[in-house]
Amino acid sequence: MAKLISSLELPLSPRPANKSLTDWLYAELRCAILDGRLKRGVRLPSTRDFALQHCVSRGIAMLVMEQLRDEGYLTSKTGAGTWVNERLPDDLLTVCARMPAKPEKAPAFLSTTTRAIRPFQSSDPDVTLFPIDIWSRLNSRHWRRATKALLGGGDSAGYAPLRNAIAEYLGTSRGVQCQASQVIVVTGTQQALDLVARLFIRPGESAWIEDPGYFAAAWALRNAGANIVPVPVDADGMDVKRGMQLAPRAKLAYVTPAHQAPLGVTMSLERRIALLRWAQSAKSIIVEDDYDSEFRFSGVPIPALQGLDKTGSVIFIGSFNKVLFPSLRLGYIIVPEQLMDKVLRMKYQMDLWANSINQAVLTDFIVDGHLGRHLRRMRETYAERRCALQDAAEKYVGDSLQLSGMHAGLATPAFYRAPVASREFEREAADQGIDATSLERYSVSKRRIRGVLLGFAAFESREINHGMQKLAAVVEKFERNTKH
């Protein structure tokens, strides 16, 4: 039977300043039970003795005992006392051992906060030019008048005024044909891709992807179980005929018609039409990612492929995260009407809805004309920087590094002559303090590409010039080695 331990003098750790007496006593007793200092079957002293021993009120002692009894650590019987439960298994005995301190760590690519942005890091906009004051003012305005509806649950499709603003903006500036009722607000391109891939791909089904192409789209498709079919890209965009030879019954085609990721070419009208026709006959979905299309430096922006589609084959996706700032986390999907319920339901089942206040602020930012002004300003700035990059390349690298036309976007591909793998080029550049992303990272078929991606958007002319001189040294080194 239970042995008496009414003289129990269980050593307890001193109470931390931020813990209440109850919390502390509870935690100490629970630990003592779990790590075996209080053995199974052992009888505890009366709450009166207990309170005296540990200098707490009897009320607290009773509260703690009751709690432990409710949770099954103790058993008590009126008049007979309280025991540590017999059924506590031995395998819990070390649970209270303190865990060792452990430094923060995460794979480098999962975090952008720890790395410094240096030329020519390719995906970053220049956030220092974002009109923080305006955004902040709109933000305060919404918080001052925060309504119950805005704080409460949201709408899975998005905040209604934002959906209207997006439909309007895309109609005017991107040639997208849609109603507000076809807009779903998401956290960005990646969530859009993930959602669409899950919804339209069953494991083993084929999906076309541009090659070279956007690797994060490949992740989303692979996570959905897709059989990835790399379709080559040339100066007219994805080679649709080749796609039809490779996988005529593919379930989905992922394309970046306005500004191909990463090569920056525009898909020709002929290819666009061929793609639409194929999708219609194969009953496939075209996912049009409007990648970096907002920053076009020559001509007016190429209208969306979606605007040509009259059979509901195109799902159009885009994001405000690069246009405004990457930590915003708001983007959109434009869904053909007949697919709307299906896509919306999936969005709901993935994460319900997006943050409402941020959506309300963004709505004002668009409707009050700040988005248009910001886009124009950034387009001019980026155009200047693009020129600075071109000039610097001509000055320091000459024919050895050929920059692409760069009609749009935040980065440009640059091709070199030396027969060096672009991963090796990337490594050498990194050693010189320069980010030059290997185009092979975008190669779905693992084809070798003698080129790197150079971002220019986030850097001033001085930085661009300085960076290009370092890059010239890299190019020169490889060319010299080749000649030997």
Q: Which two tokens stand for residue 140?
A: 């305060």
Which of 204, 327, 446, 462 touches its own copies by CB under 8 A? Answer: 327
Torsion-angle region of 12 (φ positive above 0: left; ψ -120 to 50: alpha; else: beta)? beta
Which of 41, 81, 303, 405 touches its own copies by CB under 8 A? Answer: 303
338: contact with its own copies by CB under 8 A: no
135: contact with its own copies by CB under 8 A: yes
**CA–CA distance from 452 to each of 215, 253, 263, 264, 482 (Å)?**
15, 25, 10, 13, 18
297: contact with its own copies by CB under 8 A: no
Residue 50: what residue type?
F
Which of 79, 110, 462, 483 touches its own copies by CB under 8 A? Answer: 110
283: contact with its own copies by CB under 8 A: no
Which of 6, 13, 179, 482 touches its own copies by CB under 8 A? Answer: 179
Q: Of 356 and 404, which has the nearer Cβ to its own copies? A: 356
Which of 213, 307, 336, 409 touches its own copies by CB under 8 A? Answer: 307
User: CA neighbours within 13 Å on the CB side: how many for 163?
Assistant: 21
Which of 4, 39, 57, 72 touches its own copies by CB under 8 A? Answer: 72
393: contact with its own copies by CB under 8 A: no
**Please, what is the minimum distance in Å from the beta carbon of residue 28 to its own copies?**
13
63: contact with its own copies by CB under 8 A: yes
Site string for its own copies, 146-175 (x = CB under 8 A): x-xxxxxxxxxx-xx-----------x--x
- In angstroms, the CA 83 to CA 441 distance is 64
Q: Of 148 and 446, which has the nearer Cβ to its own copies? A: 148
Q: Of 185 and 285, which has the nearer Cβ to its own copies? A: 185
**CA–CA distance from 200 to each of 122, 214, 251, 339 (Å)?**
31, 19, 7, 11
Q: Report the Cα 438 to chain-centroid distance in Å.
A: 21
292: contact with its own copies by CB under 8 A: no
Touching its own copies, residues 18-37 (CB under 8 A) = 18-19, 22-23, 26-27, 30, 34
**Please, what is the minimum distance in Å from the beta carbon of residue 447 to its own copies?**
23
**CA–CA distance from 30 to each of 11, 27, 282 (Å)?**
13, 5, 64
Q: Are 71 and 29 in contact (CB under 8 A)?
A: no
DSSP 455: E
**Please, what is the minimum distance in Å from the beta carbon of residue 121 to its own copies?**
10
85: contact with its own copies by CB under 8 A: yes
User: CA neighbours within 13 Å on the CB side: how many for 362?
Assistant: 29
Q: Are 330 and 358 in contact (CB under 8 A)?
A: yes
**Please, what is the minimum distance in Å from the beta carbon of residue 355 to its own copies?**
4
**Please, what is the minimum distance in Å from the beta carbon of residue 469 to its own copies?**
25
- For 4-43, letters b (16+ CB in 10 Å) and e give eeeeeeeebeebeeeeebbebbbbbbbbbbbeebbeeebb
Question: What contacts 24+ positions apart, CB below 8 Å, involve 146-152?
Answer: 146/357, 150/356, 150/357, 150/360, 151/356
337: contact with its own copies by CB under 8 A: yes
Asked if the bond preceding 120 is cis, omega within 30° of 0, the reply is: yes
Contact segment (CB under 8 A) with its own copies among 47-55, 111-119, 377-385, 427-435 equals 111-119
Site string for its own copies, 196-235 (x = CB under 8 A): --x----x------------x--xx--x------------
Contact segment (CB under 8 A) with its own copies among 36-44, 51-59, 351-359, 387-395 equals 351-359
**CA–CA distance from 24 to each of 30, 63, 361 (Å)?**
10, 12, 44
Contact segment (CB under 8 A) with its own copies among 305-313, 423-431, 436-444, 469-477 equals 305-313
DSSP 129: G
Strand-pair partners of 412: 454
Q: Of 304 and 475, which has the nearer Cβ to its own copies? A: 304
**Please, what is the minimum distance in Å from the beta carbon of residue 323 to its own copies?**
13
- In angstroms, the CA 279 to CA 331 distance is 25
**Please, what is the minimum distance in Å from the beta carbon of residue 137 to its own copies?**
9
Contact segment (CB under 8 A) with its own copies among 100-108, 240-248, 445-453, 473-481 equals 100-108
Q: Of 277 and 470, which has the nearer Cβ to its own copies? A: 277
